[in-house]
Amino acid sequence: MILAGGAGERFWPASRARRPKPFLRVADGRTLLAAALSRARRFAAPGAVWVVCGADHADAIRRATRLPARRILVEPARRNTAMAVAMAAAWIRRSEPDAVLAVLPADHRIPDERAFAAAIRRAARAAAGAGALVTLGIRPTRPDTGYGYLHVGTAAGPAWPGLRRVRRFVEKPDAARAARFLRGGEHLWNAGIFVFSASALLREVEACAPGLHRALAPLRGPGRAAGAAAAGLLARCYRNAPALPIDVAVMERSRAVWTLPVAFRWSDVGTWASLADELGVAPGRTRILDGELLFDECGGNLVWGRRGVALLGVEGVAVVDAGDVLLVTKLERSPDVRRIVAALKARGRRDVL
Amino acid sequence: MILAGGAGERFWPASRARRPKPFLRVADGRTLLAAALSRARRFAAPGAVWVVCGADHADAIRRATRLPARRILVEPARRNTAMAVAMAAAWIRRSEPDAVLAVLPADHRIPDERAFAAAIRRAARAAAGAGALVTLGIRPTRPDTGYGYLHVGTAAGPAWPGLRRVRRFVEKPDAARAARFLRGGEHLWNAGIFVFSASALLREVEACAPGLHRALAPLRGPGRAAGAAAAGLLARCYRNAPALPIDVAVMERSRAVWTLPVAFRWSDVGTWASLADELGVAPGRTRILDGELLFDECGGNLVWGRRGVALLGVEGVAVVDAGDVLLVTKLERSPDVRRIVAALKARGRRDVL
């Protein structure tokens, strides 16, 4: 189950209202969405891949993924990840009561697909056998303050090798705390990649998130709906749906959460700076995603050019040319790209959003 | 006589091989060439304006200025300003033996056209009456190290109010010397704007620059040539023409050089940094020449965008979008734009030059 709902505002102007972050071609020549689909196909049977997305991107996703329309669950409104995940679980359970789901955000970058698929398979066995909600925990490689962390608990048991209980979810820490986490070895990055059976998730939703549980009432019991009937059903669900992240609504409250610690390279590609890190931008080393770098002495820049780009005396900068709009930002300031988007929204500039 | 021969490499990528610096639209909505023409028309009779340029720009200049073809002197080769100026003087003298010429570079910025025209008229009276080569001397407003200076001498005499002899031409000084010049009040910026009678210039060419004098032999004596005959004549002149700046070949050696000190705003628009100064770019104050500035907190930037441009965390930068090529440069490094052009030439990249 690929979650393709995020807007990716911090990747403006490459990511736009009509072509959000999953469509960025930053995964070794593929889009993030194509890479997510490729990862899913490593372990999921053909025809077992679902996508959840918003109405404004459904057509683009249908064309890009070539999935049959009924496999694309179109949210009538944006209600954060708890509703997206729980709705999808409830929907799928109606026709497949024993379904085990892996939730893959469409905007992550994971170069080692085989290691990823192996981890998902192992997590799926625990999810199916023990009814656990398994979240992948990435071994930190730096004291990152932009990620949430999982405090790892005891081993889940000899039947589930590698799996651990989760003691606590930790919000994005400050630098000192992140450094302690890295040294201590008991904390993992919370990647937001989950594996669970649909019934286990919905059991925990009922226990931990009553508002969410109520919203899903129209999907209770078996059934198959398509087209307008499906849209009507979803519209009823979303009318009173709470807007919460799945971590906050369910994972942090449930006692059934386990983690599978993994060590493969992973990035949620959160900002131009983190993408630059992923691509190997470093002092003296500029990376170019498109276009041609005509001149650059300083290096340490990320260039997405569409054309020839020359840099003189600038370093640690991202130059992003989206055709109609050009962004030049210091990489260290790139989390604030959101503020540009907010300012443009406030001025009603939908033409450049 | 408008000199439109310069390439303006430091204004790459806005200034290009086929559309050099005089075509930059940076003079209050006009091109530098149009502004030079407008200045010339303040004091020159209709039909008394000439342009000297290279073969590769002749068509564009004809279209832009709408001058008759015979008023556009096309140099068959680039031989620096001494040859351009002396050839033009020799050419014009053939049909107008008493002509008094004002030499205006096509790439300067002088907002006050009336003050400029008044100065040229005053200089022209001295040039016609005393046979002097008059160079305009701009009162410095800052210790600029990018300009040559004139060391002012005694008054030229009561018949020529304001005019002074020139004691010495001073090459671009270092910062300490430039500061002394500014305090001392005896030095003026050498603007490269000259007024002289054609016969006085050619007399000094004969005295000071024998190589140049020899090269002009085919133009000696009266005559009128046009079309292919004119081109053949110029080709013979340029075959052995020396390539020297007029300052070095004639002005620094001649004893007939006077200056008219003037105080109007003047810039030779030498680099993106000096253009930024001219346009009022300052800390916190960004200027946009084209396109739209969508976001900029820091300020102090110069943007030539063609489209929407957003800046985040960058200051003291020029962003120049020429359509096919984009330049981002620290303003303080902008004199080195030449090095980009040199590097691209060395790589045979005429497509982006």
Give tens-digit pLDDT for A150-190.
999 999 999 999 999 999 999 999 999 999 999 999 999 99
* More confident: A102 or A297: A102
Residue A80 covered by a domain: yes
Q: Cβ B340–A307 below 8 Å, yes or no?
A: no
- A298 contacts in chain B (CB < 8 Å): none
In angstroms, what separates the C-alpha of A282 from chain B's closest C-alpha?
19
Q: pLDDT band at residue A339, thresholds of 50, 70 and 90?
A: very high
In angstroms, what separates the C-alpha of B311 from chain A's closest C-alpha?
5
Task: Looking at the structure, tell me whether residues A103 and A228 fall in a common domain.
Answer: yes
**A191 CB contacts (<8 Å, ≥6 apart)?**
A108, A135, A136, A137, A138, A266, A268
DSSP character string of A237-300: HHHT-----HIIIIITT-S-EEEEEE-S--B---SHHHHHHHHT-BTTB-EEEEEEEEEESS--
ipTM entry: 0.86
Rounded Cα distance between A172 and A118, Å, is 28
Whether A342 has its CB under 8 Å from any CB of chain B: the answer is: no
Task: Looking at the structure, tell me whether residues A102 and A158 fall in a common domain.
Answer: yes
* DSSP assigned state of A185: S
- B340 contacts in chain A (CB < 8 Å): 294-295, 310, 312
B294, B321, B330 member nearest A344 (Cβ) = B294
Q: Cβ B328–A311 below 8 Å, yes or no?
A: yes
Q: Cβ A313–B295 below 8 Å, yes or no?
A: no
Among residues A326, A64, A187, which one has the least CA distance to residue B312? A326
- A321 contacts in chain B (CB < 8 Å): 326
B246, B21, B90, B147: CA torsion to nearest 10: -20
Whether A346 has its CB under 8 Å from any CB of chain B: the answer is: no
Write a three-state SS string for chain B.
CEECCCCCHHHCCCCECCECHHHCCCECCECHHHHHHHHHHHHCCCCCCCEEEEHHHHHHHHHHHCCCHHHEEEECCCCHHHHHHHHHHHHHHHHCCCCEEEEEECCCECCCHHHHHHHHHHHHHHHHHHCCEEEEEECCCCCCCCCCEEEEEEECCCCCCCCEEEEEEECCCCHHHHHHHHHHCCEEEEEEEEEEEHHHHHHHHHHHCHHHHHHCHHHCCCCCCCHHHHHHHHHHHHHCCCCCCHHHHHHCCCCCEEEEEECCCCECCCCHHHHHHHHCCECCECEEEEEEEEEECCCCCEEEEEEEEEEECCCCEEEEECCCEEEEEEHHHHHHHHHHHHHHHHCCCHHHC
Task: Looking at the structure, tell me whether residues A196 and A322 fall in a common domain.
Answer: no
Q: pLDDT band at residue B86, thresholds of 50, 70 and 90?
A: very high
Q: Cβ B327–A312 below 8 Å, yes or no?
A: yes
Which of A326, A333, A339, A349 should be substituted to probe chain B, the one whose Cβ sees the most B Cβ atoms within 10 Å?
Answer: A326
Q: Examine residue B161 and say whether the peptide bond preceding it is cis (omega within 30 degrees of 0).
A: no
Rounded Cα distance between B170 and B351, Å, is 39
Q: Can you give the pLDDT at residue A162?
A: 95
Q: pLDDT band at residue B225, thresholds of 50, 70 and 90?
A: confident
- B321 contacts in chain A (CB < 8 Å): 326
Task: Looking at the structure, tell me whether residues B79 and B182 fall in a common domain.
Answer: yes
pLDDT of residue B147 exceeding 80: yes
Q: pLDDT band at residue B101, thresholds of 50, 70 and 90?
A: very high
Q: Can you give the pLDDT at residue B305?
A: 84
pLDDT, average across residues A107-120: 96
Q: pLDDT band at residue B8, thresholds of 50, 70 and 90?
A: confident
- A16 contacts in chain B (CB < 8 Å): none
pLDDT, average across residues B146-174: 95
Q: Can you give the pLDDT at residue A66?
A: 94
pLDDT, average across residues B184-202: 97
Whether B179 has its CB under 8 Å from any CB of chain A: the answer is: no
Question: Does the CA dihedral B231-B232-B233-B235 come out positive or negative?
Answer: positive
Query: Cα dist. B89→A283, B199, B252 in Å?
Result: 55, 8, 18
Task: Looking at the structure, tell me whether residues B132 and B96 fall in a common domain.
Answer: yes
A290 bridge partner residues: A304
Residue A214 covered by a domain: yes
Rounded Cα distance between A167 and A172, Å, is 16
- A353 contacts in chain B (CB < 8 Å): none
pLDDT tens across A229-241, in order? 889 999 999 998 9
In angstroms, what separates the C-alpha of A299 from chain B's closest C-alpha?
13
Whether A319 has its CB under 8 Å from any CB of chain B: the answer is: yes
Q: Can you give the pLDDT at residue B272?
A: 95
User: How many C-beta neighbours within 10 Å does residue A69 have?
Assistant: 11
Asked if residues B283 and B276 have their Cβ atoms less than 8 Å apart, the reply is no
Task: Looking at the structure, tell me whether residues B283 and B250 fall in a common domain.
Answer: no
Q: Can you give the pLDDT at residue B226?
A: 81
Rounded Cα distance between A197 and A210, Å, is 19
Q: Cβ B324–A330 below 8 Å, yes or no?
A: no
Residue A233 covered by a domain: yes
Task: Looking at the structure, tell me whether residues B42 and B132 fall in a common domain.
Answer: yes
Percent pLDDT > 70 in chain B is 100
Question: What SS3 state is found at A82?
Answer: helix
Rounded Cα distance between B35 and B26, Å, is 10
Q: Can you give the pLDDT at residue A223?
A: 80
Rounded Cα distance between A266 and A110, Å, is 5
pLDDT of residue A221 exceeding 80: no
Percent pLDDT > 90 in chain B is 87
Residue identified by tokens 């990649």 is: A193
Instruction: Say which CATH number the domain at B36 has.
Output: 3.90.550.10
- A317 contacts in chain B (CB < 8 Å): 314, 328
pLDDT tens across B334-352, in order? 999 999 999 999 999 999 9
A313, A333, A337 member nearest B329 (Cβ) = A313
Range of the domain at B321: 272-352
Question: Domain count of chain B?
Answer: 2
In angstroms, what separates the C-alpha of A331 from chain B's closest C-alpha?
9
Rounded Cα distance between B2 and B67, Å, is 12
Q: pLDDT band at residue A102, thresholds of 50, 70 and 90?
A: very high
**A237 CB contacts (<8 Å, ≥6 apart)?**
A87, A215, A216, A217, A218, A219
Whether B59 has its CB under 8 Å from any CB of chain A: the answer is: no
**Cβ pairs A/B, distance under 8 A:** 111
pLDDT, average across residues B285-312: 94
Per residue in A83-97, is it b (16+ CB within 10 Å) or e — as a string?
Answer: bbbbbbbbbbbbeee
Q: Can you give the pLDDT at residue A27?
A: 86
pLDDT, average across residues A21-50: 93
- A327 contacts in chain B (CB < 8 Å): 309-312
Return the structure tokens found at A302.
């990320």
pLDDT tens across B259-279, in order? 999 999 999 888 999 999 999
Whether B346 has its CB under 8 Å from any CB of chain A: the answer is: no
Task: Looking at the structure, tell me whether residues A20 and A99 fall in a common domain.
Answer: yes
Query: Cα dist. B84→A36, B31, B97, B105, B238 in Å?
Result: 65, 22, 18, 11, 10
Task: Look at residues A262, A280, A307 and tell me which one is the last residue of a structural domain.
Answer: A262
pLDDT, average across residues A329-337: 94
Asked if residues B16 and B8 have their Cβ atoms less than 8 Å apart, the reply is no
Whether B334 has its CB under 8 Å from any CB of chain A: the answer is: yes
- B13 contacts in chain A (CB < 8 Å): 308, 310
Q: Cβ A312–B336 below 8 Å, yes or no?
A: yes
Kindly report the average pLDDT of chain A as a whole number: 94
Whether A315 has its CB under 8 Å from any CB of chain B: the answer is: no
In angstroms, what separates the C-alpha of B347 from chain A's closest C-alpha?
10
Q: Cβ A314–B330 below 8 Å, yes or no?
A: yes
Residue B267 covered by a domain: no
pLDDT of residue A6 exceeding 80: no
Query: Cα dist. B325→A258, A289, A310, B15, B315 in Å?
Result: 52, 16, 8, 11, 21
| Residue A157 Ramachandran class (φ > 0 left, ψ -120 to 50 alpha, else beta) | left
Query: Cα dist. A345→A54, A339, A351, A353 in Å?
Result: 19, 10, 10, 8
Using only C-alpha atoms, chain B has a radius of gyration, in whole angstroms, of 21
Nearest residue on chain A to B336, judged by CA atoms?
A312
Return the structure tokens found at A161.
């090798």
Percent pLDDT > 70 in chain A is 100
Rounded Cα distance between B272 and A237, Å, is 59
Task: Looking at the structure, tell me whether residues B148 and B78 fall in a common domain.
Answer: yes
Kindly report the average pLDDT of chain B as a whole number: 94
Q: Can you give the pLDDT at residue A42?
A: 96
Whether A257 has its CB under 8 Å from any CB of chain B: the answer is: no
pLDDT tens across B41-73, in order? 999 987 899 999 999 899 999 999 999 999 999
pLDDT, average across residues A16-30: 89
Task: Look at residues A227, A262, A297 and tell me which one is the last residue of a structural domain.
Answer: A262
- B330 contacts in chain A (CB < 8 Å): 312-314
Beta strands in chain A (DSSP E): 2-3, 51-54, 72-75, 100-105, 133-138, 149-155, 164-170, 187-197, 257-262, 287-296, 302-312, 317-321, 325-330
Q: pLDDT band at residue B251, thresholds of 50, 70 and 90?
A: very high
User: How many C-beta neighbours within 10 Å does residue A294 have?
Assistant: 21
Whether B214 has its CB under 8 Å from any CB of chain A: the answer is: no
Task: Looking at the structure, tell me whether residues A165 and A30 fall in a common domain.
Answer: yes
Task: Looking at the structure, tell me whether residues A184 and A67 fall in a common domain.
Answer: yes
In angstroms, what separates the C-alpha of A284 from chain B's closest C-alpha?
16
B13, B313, B323 member nearest A333 (Cβ) = B313
Q: Can you give the pLDDT at residue B114?
A: 97
Question: What SS3 state is found at A305?
Answer: strand
Q: What is the β-pairing status of strands B133-138 and B257-262?
A: parallel
**A337 CB contacts (<8 Å, ≥6 apart)?**
A9, A10, A11, A12, A271, A272, A327, A329, B312
For A221, the enclosing helix (H) or strand (E) is none
Q: What is the β-pairing status of strands A287-296 and A257-262?
A: unpaired
Rounded Cα distance between A84 and A238, Å, is 10
Residue A267 covered by a domain: no
Rounded Cα distance between A214 and B34, Å, is 72
Q: Can you give the pLDDT at residue B321?
A: 94
In angstroms, what separates the C-alpha of B322 from chain A's closest C-alpha?
10
Residue A159 covered by a domain: yes
Task: Looking at the structure, tell me whether residues B239 and B151 fall in a common domain.
Answer: yes
Q: pLDDT band at residue B167, thresholds of 50, 70 and 90?
A: very high
Which of B326, B344, B350, B351 should be substituted to probe chain A, the one whose Cβ sees the most A Cβ atoms within 10 Å?
Answer: B326
Task: Look at residues B230, B262, B294 and tell me which one is the last residue of a structural domain.
Answer: B262
- B336 contacts in chain A (CB < 8 Å): 312-313
Question: What SS3 state is found at A90?
Answer: helix
